[in-house]
Each structure stands twice: as C-alpha cells, then as structure tokens.
C-alpha cells in the first residue's frame, strides 16, 4: 500500500494499514456504494414521474439522509469490534453513515438546477464519476481489478437506475 495510506492511518491513531482498512476504508466504501446506488431509484423515479427538479431534490435529500442514518445504525450495531478487531462501532457507524449520505447526496445536488433535463444530464455525469471512484477505491485498497470493479459497480448501478426509470415512467 502507499505511504499516504500508512501516514493517514498513523495520524488517525489506527496503528497499521490493516486496522485502517478494517475500521475506515471498508466501512466508508460500503457506505459510498450503498449511498451511490440505493438512492438512484427514488431520485430517477421522481425525476421521470414529476419532471420537477425541486421535488427530485427533496426526495434525493431525504433518501440520502435516511440511507445515511440507516447505514450508520446498521454498521454500528452489527459488530462491537471485539471479536472481529474492526474497532469502535461508533467510528465505523459514523464513517459508514457519512459516506452513505455523501454517495446519495452528490447526485442529488444537480437537481438544484431548475431545468430537470439539465439536472438529469449533470446527475448522470455525477453518478458516472461516483461509480468510477468506487471502482478505483476497490482497485487501490483491495487489490481488485479496476476493470472488473468497474463492471460490477456499473452493473449494480444500472440495475437500480433501470428500476427507477421503469417505475418513474409508469
């Protein structure tokens, strides 16, 4: 792993790379993936059903906040860290919840644009960037093939996006 990861883990008091991966990177990645993918269906369903950017923004923001809270509690309550060595459940919960919120809220921001068609184009771009970042994190920290990670992440995102489009167009 890179010197940057080692320095960050030391500065944060995690002691070693493995602890940093288990306590910060993995919960953060899980949150980012969940937020980026799980909020696609409600956001795009609302966009196609209402064609109203303000409404989409409200639904997206609510989805991101709700997903963040849910994932924070889920991660925090799933493991006290004693048996697995994954560290403080509060820290993992905050990391997971924060990254879940971020992943869902980033592609909500374009809907601050009043024109829903322009907002959709911007949101498509943001989602694409999010998915590439997720694939890169998997490649960098978990020795996954970048190409395979990208295929897996895009496939998951496409399935959820399609569900939102189908439901929103009904």
Which 8-state DSSP code applies to residue 112? Answer: G
Of the candidates 167, 161, 159, 160, the residue with the CA atom closest to the CA atom of residue 49: 167
State how many domains the chain has: 1
In a domain, 161, yes or no: yes
**Residue 101 DSSP SS3:** helix
Tell me the per-residue pLDDT of 86-105, one tens digit each, with 9 for 90 and over: 888 899 999 999 999 999 99
Which 8-state DSSP code applies to residue 14? Answer: -
Which domain covers residue 101, as residue numbers? 14-165
For the chain, where are the alpha helices, taking DSSP H only? 3-11, 17-20, 26-38, 40-50, 53-78, 89-106, 116-142, 146-168
Tell me the per-residue pLDDT of 157-166, one tens digit each, with 9 for 90 and over: 888 878 877 8
In a domain, 8, yes or no: no
In a domain, 155, yes or no: yes
Q: What burial letters (b/e) apply to 96-122, b meaning 16+ CB within 10 Å? A: bbbbbbbbbbbbbbbbebeebeebbeb
Q: Classify residue 1 as exposed, middle or buried by CB count within 10 Å of its CB (0-12, 13-18, 19+).
A: middle
Q: Which two tokens stand for residue 45?
A: 């369903």
At residue 80, the pLDDT reads 82
In a domain, 7, yes or no: no
In a domain, 127, yes or no: yes
CA angle 92–38–29, rounded 5-degree value: 35
In a domain, 9, yes or no: no
Of the candidates 162, 170, 135, the residue with the CA atom closest to the CA atom of residue 40: 162
Q: Which two tokens stand for residue 46?
A: 């609302």
Percent of the chain with pLDDT over 90: 52
Return the higher-pLDDT residue of 84 and 51.
51
Q: Tell if the pTM clears 0.75, that is, is over it.
A: yes
In a domain, 5, yes or no: no
In a domain, 170, yes or no: no
At residue 72, the pLDDT reads 95
Locus of tokens 């953060």: 28
At residue 17, the pLDDT reads 82
């Amino acid at each position: 792993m890179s010197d940057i990861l080692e320095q960050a883990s030391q500065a944060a008091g995690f002691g070693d790379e493995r602890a940093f991966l288990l306590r910060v990177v993995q919960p953060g990645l899980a949150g980012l993936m969940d937020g980026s993918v799980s909020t696609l269906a409600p956001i795009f369903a609302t966009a196609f059903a209402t064609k109203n950017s303000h409404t989409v923004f409200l639904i997206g923001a609510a989805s991101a906040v709700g997903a963040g809270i849910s994932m924070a509690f889920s991660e925090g309550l799933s493991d006290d860290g004693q048996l697995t060595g994954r560290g403080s459940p509060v820290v993992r919960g905050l990391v997971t919840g924060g990254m879940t919120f971020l992943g869902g809220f980033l592609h909500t921001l374009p809907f601050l644009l009043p024109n829903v068609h322009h907002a959709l184009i911007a949101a498509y771009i943001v989602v694409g960037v999010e998915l590439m970042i997720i694939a890169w994190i998997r490649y960098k920290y978990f020795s996954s093939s970048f190409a395979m990670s990208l295929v897996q992440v895009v496939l998951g995102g496409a399935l959820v996006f399609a569900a939102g489009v189908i439901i929103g167009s009904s």
